Amino acid sequence: RPGCTRIPVVVHVVWKTPAQNISQAQIDSQIAVLNQDFRATNGDISTVPAPFAPLTGDARLVFALADRDPAGNPHDGVVRVQTDRDGFGSDDAVKFSSSGGSDAWPRDEYLNIWVCQLTGGLLGYAQFPGGAAATDGVVVTHTGFGTTGTASPPFNRGRTTTHEIGHWLNLRHIWGDDGGGCSGSDFVDDTPNQGGPNTGEPSFPTISCSNGPNGDMFMNFMDYVDDAAMVMFSEGQVVRMHACLDGPRSAIGE
Ligand code: ARG
Ligand code: ZN
Ligand code: CA
């Protein structure tokens, strides 16, 4: 897959309180983060420990708010919907106007991002390729979206959206989702086998599953560390994301 792939984005802001009706600046700050993280131009990529630095990958994806709505009319790519719901879980209610949310735009043309108040400490969730069109996209809580406005530490560097778009492009969690064992895989060859998720800001090396001397690639966007500690996709992950864009998601970004 040569060159860059452009992904038109629609952001659905589903709000009850005025604070949840996030500013355009907060939305723009998130798009800016995506355009760094998926081009490996984020400044903090320099913190990748030397043994892992050769594995960093440029996903060559460029994100932009849509400039047309599905009918072809000029649009700014932001849909704002007032709701009577205090918050949303992972049941996809936010994706339907009939349940207090906002209906998806066609996934063949847009990446749908819903921003709302998520409950229970949930930062975000994503739909992998292969699911229903009406629920396709990612959901992020407003306090974990972008780098300004209501974004709150330690999740105020826009990395929840980066992580969720990784899932949307078929990336698994780097530890293989095996409940802390050493048998699960993320189906990427250049990410070390890792026991369970890392959190906070780990120090290098963090060893599990006999993966020394370099240990876990905890600074990967698909681990569970704080925003300040996740700074890279691997080249193998880029290959997997591109396979998704050449396969199940080939309609978008043409
Ligand atoms: N819990 C979410 C998920 O598994 C997102 C985790 C994002 N982590 C972060 N540091 N922003 O999809
Ligand atoms: Zn995840
Ligand atoms: Ca594991």
For the Cβ of 124 lying below 6 angstroms from any atom of ligand 1, the answer is yes
pLDDT class of 68 with cuts at 50, 70, 90: very high
pLDDT score at 172: 98
Q: Tell me the average pLDDT of the chain.
A: 98
Each residue's pLDDT tens digit, 69-79: 999 999 999 99
What DSSP line would sit under 9-70, residue for residue?
A: EEEEEEESSGGGS--HHHHHHHHHHHHHHTTT--GGGGGS-TTTGGGB----EEEEE-SB-T
Q: What is the mean pLDDT of residues 13-23?
A: 99
User: If we measure between CA atoms, which residue out of 192, 189, 238, 241 comes closest to residue 218?
Assistant: 192
Nearest ligand to the C-alpha atom of residue 177 = 3
ipTM of model over 0.85: yes
For the Cβ of 160 lying below 6 angstroms from any atom of ligand 1, the answer is yes
Give yes or no: 201 in active site: no
Please give the structure tokens belonging to residue 198. 């890392």
What's CA 11's distance to the chain center, in Å? 13
Each residue's pLDDT tens digit, 155-201: 999 999 999 999 999 999 999 999 999 999 999 999 999 999 999 99
Cis ω for the linkage preceding 8 (within 30 of 0): no
pLDDT score at 117: 99
Ligand 3 centroid distance, CA of 85 (Å):
37
254, pLDDT greater than 80: no
For the Cβ of 128 lying below 6 angstroms from any atom of ligand 1, the answer is no
pLDDT score at 22: 99
Looking at residue 113, its amino acid is I
pLDDT score at 223: 98
Each residue's pLDDT tens digit, 115-147: 999 999 999 999 999 999 999 999 999 999 999
